[in-house]
Amino acid sequence: MAVKFGRPLESRVRFAPAEKDAHTARLDLPTRLRRNRRADWARRMLREHTLTTDDLIWPLFAMDGRNARAPVPSMPGVERLSVDQIVREAERAAKLTIPCVALFPYTDPALRDEEGSEALNPDNLVCQAIRAIKKEVPEVGILCDVALDPYTSHGHDGLLHEGEILNDETVQVLVKQALVQAEAGCDIIAPSDMMDGRVGAIRKALDAANFVDVSIMAYAAKYASAFYGPFRDAVGSAKTLSGDKRTYQMDPANTDEALREVALDIEEGADMVMVKPGLPYLDIVSRVKETFGMPTFAYQVSGEYAMIMAAAQNSWLDGERAMLESLIAFKRAGADGVLTYFAPRVAEKLKKA
């Protein structure tokens, strides 16, 4: 018996003969799948999935100042924006029918401390941006991260004590952060910290404070990923981060554990769940959607964006096509929507088409 790669050949999956299938076998004719692809109209008619502007959540980076924009070098085309400019982009989102923006702060390093206390300042950058958008563009939804990393001097998402990230103590702070953001007018609270039990604690606190209509989108399966690098440049935590996040974010080698994480967050009251990063984790998106049938989102993270942009700038690939192909892949895998830095660009393209 021939044994290759440690497994007997006989045990491998065998496919039906490729040249014929049940329909045409009787006629003794070859099956011609290309018939359905022969013209543009036919391809459009037979297309199984579509991407629309309604599928997009647009992440924006806020910074201090007035009328100011500063490019993020590792994310070509992405800028940090002063609050007035964030409002301009929110208006653009409304025009492009992008339903929701996600807000992240670049916190002045002088305001960062061990406990991330600026996260609880009701007048911090994120809260200012929420109020400004709600005043001028109320029809756009606002999602905010709950996690301490843009506010801590050590760059971690939680409280650090003797080299360890404390769980329950961190959750107490995250609950306060969520309340501060809800008070400012945030529509969707998105805990991205990966502490245990934070979704339930936040839901309880929101309800107790009468924020029953504020939703939770849990970063439910969030992996300890190298693809967050450019984001950490954007929020200014790349240089400060001590060590890595592997004691709280998930091991990229795990699948079943992702389902446990998602199941817990649903039990604890999440309205929507998210998988992050995106493209390298489409198997997780697909399994989560199939298993739970929950509104499921994927985050096409900064490193995924940067890879496509860098290759496009070198003319190594067609950036527009790679953007569209990467985004339809999320729909194919079962995602209900995607957080993506391509949001305005792809929305403009979809509007024109």
Q: Which of 57, 72, 144, 147 binds ligand PBG (CB under 6 A)?
A: 147
Amino acid symbol at 205: A
Which is nearer to ligand PBG, 207 or 257 (by Cβ)?
257
Answer yes or no whether residue 177 interacts with ligand PBG by CB under 6 A. Answer: no
- Give the CB-side neighbour count of residue 53, counting CA atoms within 13 A: 20
Q: Taking CB under 6 A as the rule, which mask of x and - marks residues 40-69 in contact with ligand PBG?
A: ------------------------------
The answer to the question of residue 151 lying near ligand PBG (CB under 6 A) is no
Q: Which position among 170, 302, 326, 340 is part of the footprint of ligand PBG (CB under 6 A)?
A: 302
Q: In the bound complex, what is the minimum distance in angstroms from residue 8's beta carbon to ligand PBG?
A: 44
Q: Is residue 281 a contact point for ligand PBG (CB under 6 A)? A: no
Cα dihedral: 143, 185, 103, 208 (round 10): -60
Which of 194, 91, 15 lies closest to 174 in space, CA to CA?
194
Nearer to ligand PBG, 3 or 296 (CB): 296
The residue written with tokens 């964030």 in the block is: 86
Beta bridge partner(s), residue 144: 103, 189
- Which range, of 12-20, 111-119, 225-233, 254-262, touches ligand PBG by CB under 6 A? 225-233
Tokens at residue 95, please?
């025009």
Specify the DSSP class assigned to residue 15.
Answer: P
Rounded to whole angstroms, what are the CA distances from 267 to 148, 199, 237, 334? 24, 9, 32, 21
Residue 198 burial (10 A CB sphere; 0-12, 13-18, 19+): buried
- Minimum distance from residue 174 beta carbon to ligand PBG (Å): 11
Residue 118 interacts with ligand PBG (CB under 6 A)?
A: no
Residue from 245, 276, 289, 331 carrying the catalytic annotation: 276
- Residues counted in the chain: 353
301 binds ligand PBG (CB under 6 A): yes
Closest to ligand PBG by CB, 140 vs 338, is 338
The only residue of 192, 215, 326, 340 in contact with ligand PBG, by rule CB under 6 A: 192
Strands (E) across 169-214 are located at 188-191
Tokens, residue 330: 């999320």
The answer to the question of residue 342 lying near ligand PBG (CB under 6 A) is no
**Residue 267: phi, psi to the nearest 5?**
-55, -35
Kindly state the smallest distance separating residue 112's Cβ from ligand PBG, in Å. 14
Piece in contact with ligand PBG (CB under 6 A), picked from 24-32, 62-70, 144-152, 307-315: 144-152
Residue 222 annotated in active site? yes
d(CA 266, CA 217): 10
**For ligand PBG, which residue of 55, 89, 118, 145 counts as binding (CB under 6 A)?**
145
Residues 239-268 that bind ligand PBG (CB under 6 A): 245
Q: Which residue from 221, 217, 228 is spatially nearest to 303, judged by alpha carbons?
A: 228
Of 222, 245, 289, 331, catalytic: 222
- Give every CB contact of residue 335 below 8 A, 6+ residues apart in sequence: 55, 275, 285, 289, 296, 297, 298
Stretch that binds ligand PBG, among 33-41, 46-54, 226-234, 345-353 (CB under 6 A): 226-234
Q: Please state, in angstroms and rounded to a whole number, the distance separating the CA atoms of residues 284 and 220.
A: 11
How far apart CA 78 and CA 116 sit, in angstroms, is: 25
Is 95 an active-site residue? no
- When CB distances to ligand PBG are compared, the closest residue is 231
Q: How many residues touch ligand PBG (CB under 6 A)?
A: 12
Catalytic sites, residue numbers: 222, 276
Residue numbers at the binding site for ligand PBG (CB under 6 A):
145, 147, 149, 157, 192-193, 228, 231-232, 245, 301-302
